Structure 1
């Protein structure tokens, strides 16, 4: 089942997809165009993987890491489907990153790879924009690059894990203004989902609604003010947002 969180009728509602419409938990049916889409879950800790596709690492002149390159993101970064992402006026290079987002379903520690899927509740899509101008180096790459407000659209759907037959065999696409720019598959992750859950839980507790952003394949290009970016993952959905300038935020 596909779940969403939306704002309408003066409140925040949980909803499910119903034949092209949204059905709120109180039974009301509403057109998806008549809501404000919110992140589909209230995320806990957000883990993001750097260079988790070897082809993307090569594309930006790095080698794939020998162990996961993980950094944390704040909830301030998340926005919903059809939202706006600010591109600062002083930057030269801003890349989209289509990523499968794994949502943890229950509190856990020291999970073994063979049991990892038991601790997943479902999946969603993230577009984890990176502002390359702020990159310091391989070891300190990502606070200013990855933690800016509005930088990570997520959603529109949270999809139950039972409805995703093989999360390690999904196609990913990114379209900029309707033109296909990025295409890949989750098969090409350097570190797969079970490995990541085992790795993270080996030294820290994972909690319900923690999110793991699993990286992006090659094909990232610069995006600018006015661009409409759509990221799509097979079986999960299509997530759309627009790049806007500082002036929209009175900057």
Structure 2
């Protein structure tokens, strides 16, 4: 399956094709896969994410799925890339990973059926839908600050075309240990359904991204942690957590909290029933 990546090559944004352990540009320049400086593999005008889709995640939160998917929006300023630093701001403690498959739109899409949606997809990449749950009590359910803060949408390492999403394993690692493990087959709504659903009322443009949901096991990470998301056939997206140099301002806006809502989301929805004391991070 062809895989394309966007990198900085001699100071210029360049699309390259992966050939084994090398990345080759259209003019023949070559850089090693491990040596490249990566950019997000696409340039979306919008990033849309589904709230719940994996059945293991639904079970973890002791809830039920709605009759149809619900979504939220991540601003493009949240974009990050393979090997990029994910920033946990000072005064915040509950930054959670969420390993996901990202759908990348290939052509203008509006009012298509699920059966037609596949023809509108350019390919797939890996996403990590980080959430800053310290702000879970704000923004009236839109999760703008929770999911939209800077650096909280790494994508990569590349865009894979011709990938069949069915029956694919998805794993997240923190410092080399598996912390999430699932399969695309546990999704209630598949990739084609999600595209068709959104495109009923929202025009999708080439490069736009839909994040398709995460399995159970999302938990907080701390500065110094290395988080990797691996999807069968798509490779492995790696990022590291750093502390933001500037604390969240306290002279305006809602402040970080440690409410029951924050903790129950950060620790999987049933932390209090297992007698778990939320650790200081």
Per the TM superposition, whether the score is higher than 0.5 is yes
- Indicate the residue corresponding to 1:187 in structure 2: 185
Instruction: For residue 61 of structure 1, report the CA deviation from its aligned partner.
Output: 4.6
Larger Rg: 2
Deviations along 1:60-96, one digit per CA (max 9) or x if unpaired, are: 4543222211111111111111000011222232211
SS at match of 2:156: coil
Return the TM-score normalized by structure 2: 0.83
Deviations along 1:119-148, one digit per CA (max 9) or x if unpaired, are: 111000001101222113896141111100
Instruction: For residue 168 of structure 1, report the CA deviation from its aligned partner.
Output: 2.8
- Indicate the residue corresponding to 1:24 in structure 2: 25
- The answer to whether the 8 Å contact 1:231/1:240 transfers is yes
Mapping of residues 142-181 of structure 1, within 5 Å: 142-160=143-161, 162=162, 164=163, 166-181=164-179
Instruction: For residue 34 of structure 1, report the CA deviation from its aligned partner.
Output: 2.9
* Counterpart Cα distance in 1 of 2:63 and 2:78: 25
Instruction: For residue 239 of structure 1, report the CA deviation from its aligned partner.
Output: 0.4
* Structure 1: 5+ residue stretches without partners: none
* Counterpart Cα distance in 2 of 1:71 and 1:250: 26
Instruction: For residue 7 of structure 1, report the CA deviation from its aligned partner.
Output: 0.7
* Counterpart Cα distance in 2 of 1:196 and 1:233: 19
Instruction: For residue 53 of structure 1, report the CA deviation from its aligned partner.
Output: 1.5
Alignment RMSD: 1.8
Q: 1:228 aligns with which of 183, 204, 226?
A: 226
- Indicate the residue corresponding to 2:43 in structure 1: 42
- Indicate the residue corresponding to 1:216 in structure 2: 214
Mapping of residues 59-70 of structure 1, within 5 Å: 59-70=60-71
- The answer to whether the 8 Å contact 1:8/1:34 transfers is no
How many residues align structurally? 247
Return the TM-score normalized by structure 1: 0.92
